[in-house]
Amino acid sequence: MSQVKDLLGDYKSIRARTIEFLEKVPKEKWTWRPHALLGSFGMQVRHMSTSQQSYIEGIKKGKIDFSQKEFDKEIETNKEKAIKRLKELDKELSKLISSMKDFDKKIIFVDGVSGTSEEDLATLLNYLIQHEFYHQGIFTCYGRLVGMGKFLFM
């Protein structure tokens, strides 16, 4: 249990840094894309929120499969709504984990690259942390390209 609580605390800390950065992205840059084949700041956040929702629903149901493809398109163009959605998901994730009794229960995890595995909650939180770091790297690159050097992750 303490490992899960520690990981949840780590995730919250990492997410807080992401939100701090996103709040500093100029509104006029929210839909900016570095290339036609790459997403905007808003598209990155929409992906992050859709992915986190899949984790939350999957933890509840016992299977994370990322099959839910519906999303609020406005997140891609509305910075305030996007950040609000991340914060809502964080509260939902914390509430879910706080209500759980069995942290060792195996949850089916369907990864489009690695296939299907059974993972415990600690491993799933580590996946969320890794995913957040991945997007922080993208945001660092995007931030430099739009001239936000002084606001980057440290």
The ranges assigned to domains in the chain are 2-151
CA gap 59, 124 in Å, rounded: 9
How big is the chain, counted in residues?
154
Q: Taking 80 as the threshold, does the pLDDT of residue 19 lie above it?
A: yes
The secondary structure element, H or E, covering residue 108 is strand 107-111
User: What is the overall mean pLDDT for the chain?
Assistant: 93
CA gap 83, 20 in Å, rounded: 10
CA gap 144, 147 in Å, rounded: 5
- State which fold the 2-151 domain adopts: Four Helix Bundle (Hemerythrin (Met), subunit A) (1.20.120)
Q: Taking 80 as the threshold, does the pLDDT of residue 152 lie above it?
A: no
pLDDT tens figures, 49-103: 999 999 999 999 999 998 877 788 999 999 999 999 999 999 999 999 999 988 8
Q: How confident is the model at residue 117 (pLDDT cuts 50, 70, 90)?
A: very high
Q: How confident is the model at residue 113 (pLDDT cuts 50, 70, 90)?
A: confident
For residues 13-24, average pLDDT: 96
pTM here?
0.92
Q: Taking 60 as the threshold, does the pLDDT of residue 1 lie above it?
A: no
